[in-house]
């Protein structure tokens, strides 16, 4: 399944729409997510941002051997996009290190 986290944009065909980080994380926990597309600003920062999902994935990969899906960022917030993409690169490094050990 492909999960699309966003509060405003139309959901692409073939993707499951979620509005909040905790919803995306619940789908990730099922192990069925093969692709994930993240927005950062979701309308209520107290409820979380797309970056919270990146942090959750990074922790799960580092501590529990979680196998992450393909992750992309579609946020228009340029500074948040950079931060999220840096987190994704860190996840990719962790996955790469796990493969070589």
- 83 forms beta bridges with none
pLDDT in tens, 15-73: 999 999 999 999 999 999 999 999 999 999 899 999 999 999 999 999 999 999 999 99
100 confidence band (pLDDT: 50, 70, 90):
low
Q: Which CATH class is domain 2-100?
A: alpha beta
> DSSP secondary structure string, 25-87?
HHHHHTT---EEEE-S--S-TTT--HHHHHHHHHHHHHHH-----EEEE--S-HHHHHHHHHH
CA distance 76 to 4: 15
For the chain, report the end-to-end CA distance as a whole number of angstroms. 29
Global pTM reads: 0.94
Each domain of the chain, given as residue ranges in start order, spans 2-100
């Amino acid at each position: 399944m492909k999960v699309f986290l966003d509060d405003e944009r139309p959901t692409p065909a073939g993707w499951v729409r979620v509005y909040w980080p905790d919803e995306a994380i619940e789908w990730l926990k099922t192990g069925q997510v093969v692709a994930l597309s993240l927005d950062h600003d979701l309308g209520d920062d107290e409820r979380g941002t797309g970056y919270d999902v990146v942090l959750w994935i990074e922790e799960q990969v580092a501590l529990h051997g979680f196998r992450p899906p393909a992750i992309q960022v579609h946020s228009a917030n340029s500074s948040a996009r950079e931060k999220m993409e840096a987190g994704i690169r860190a996840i990719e490094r962790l996955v790469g290190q796990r493969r070589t050990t």
